[in-house]
């Protein structure tokens, strides 16, 4: 099937317009992400990790073991949570925390989550609310629920996300991060999960760019240079 140059030029023009818009979005989003302060995006400097030391008089493991029962233990970690040493036990079914001194199970309540978020805030701001998330949302798309969502009324409208199982502050989000995430979405063209560089839309754009380049070269030789070099044919005819 023979495609006339005029139809190919029209298709080339409209595809080029669409690709041009995407190139502009790539340039704008890339520049915006480069200009944003990455420390502000990360929520400010992080506090140093404090490693717990097992109390010398601790004899809590038999108590902890009885509570775990017959569940297969996959990992044990000693850490500090809200200024007290805790033993984090990971089993095939769940992750549990216990007070390293008494063996009492430690649960991440809303109060505990607010305290953990307050301790992680670089300016020591106090949280205004805490809500338990049972489904994954965009700000914590790489983490598994349940997660405490702790809100602040600070200048950056910060939201901290605290694991409801380990008490770890998973993410610190604010208005600067929200702008960065918006530009990141534009840059990688993943408008749903904002994580993939290998989704159908960006592959389609890549194929369209390759088609645009090939047809552009064909049109260049087919229509433009033929007229530009007409004077050579006239000269040979003399």
pLDDT for 1: 46
Could you tell me the pLDDT band of residue 152, with boundaries at 50, 70 and 90?
very high
3-state secondary structure (DSSP) of residue 197: coil
What confidence tier does 93 reach under pLDDT thresholds 50, 70, 90? confident
d(CA 98, CA 104): 5
Could you give the 3-state DSSP secondary structure of residue 51? coil
Give mean pLDDT, residues 217-234: 62
Give the sheet arrangement for strand 127-133, strand by strand. 127-133, 147-152, 159-163, 169-173
What per-residue confidence (pLDDT) applies to 233?
A: 56
Find the mean pLDDT for residues 12-29. 90
- Whether 5 shows a pLDDT value over 80: the answer reads no
The listed range with the strongest mean pLDDT (13-27, 63-77, 174-188, 192-206) is 174-188
The string of DSSP letters for 75-135 reads EEEEEEETTEEEEEEEESS-EEEEETTT-PEE---HHHHHHHHHHH-TT-PPEEEEEEE-S
Structure tokens at 101: 């001194």
**What confidence score (pLDDT) does residue 50 get?**
57
The structure's pTM equals 0.81
Whether pLDDT at 8 is above 80:
no
> CA 161, CA 96: separation in Å to the nearest integer?
18
Q: Does the pLDDT at position 31 exceed 90? A: yes
State mean pLDDT over 82-96: 90
pLDDT tens by residue, 105-141: 999 999 999 999 999 999 999 999 999 999 999 999 9
pLDDT of residue 128: 97
- The predicted structure's pLDDT at residue 155: 93
Tell me what pLDDT residue 211 has: 86
Predicted pLDDT at 55: 57
Beta bridge partners of 162: 148, 169
Q: How far apart are CA 190 and CA 71, in angstroms?
A: 40
Instruction: Please give the domain boundaries of the chain with CATH numbers for all domains.
Output: 5-37+184-237 (no CATH), 49-106 (3.10.450), 107-173 (3.10.450)
Q: What is the pLDDT of residue 226?
A: 55
- Say if CB 198 and CB 189 are below 8 A apart: no
């Amino acid at each position: 099937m023979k495609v006339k140059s005029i139809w190919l030029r029209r298709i080339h023009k409209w595809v080029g317009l669409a690709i041009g818009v995407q190139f502009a979005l790539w340039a704008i989003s890339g520049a915006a992400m480069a200009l944003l302060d990455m420390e502000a995006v990360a929520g400010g400097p992080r506090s140093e990790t404090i490693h717990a030391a097992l109390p010398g008089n601790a004899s809590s493991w038999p108590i902890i073991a009885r509570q775990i029962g017959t569940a297969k233990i996959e990992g044990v970690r000693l850490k500090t949570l809200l200024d007290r040493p805790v033993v984090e036990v990971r089993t095939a079914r769940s992750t549990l925390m216990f007070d390293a001194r008494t063996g009492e199970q430690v649960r991440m309540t809303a109060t505990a989550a607010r305290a953990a978020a307050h301790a992680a805030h670089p300016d020591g701001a106090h949280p205004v609310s805490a809500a338990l998330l049972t489904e994954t949302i965009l700000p914590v798309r790489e983490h598994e629920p349940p997660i405490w969502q702790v809100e602040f009324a600070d200048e950056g409208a910060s939201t901290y996300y605290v694991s409801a199982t380990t008490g770890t502050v998973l993410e610190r989000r604010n208005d600067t991060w929200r702008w960065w995430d918006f530009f990141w979405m534009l840059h990688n063209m993943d408008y749903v999960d904002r994580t993939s560089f290998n989704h159908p839309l960006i592959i389609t754009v890549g194929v369209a760019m390759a088609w645009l380049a090939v047809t552009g070269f064909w049109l260049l030789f087919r229509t433009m240079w033929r007229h530009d070099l007409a004077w050579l044919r006239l000269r040979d005819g003399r």
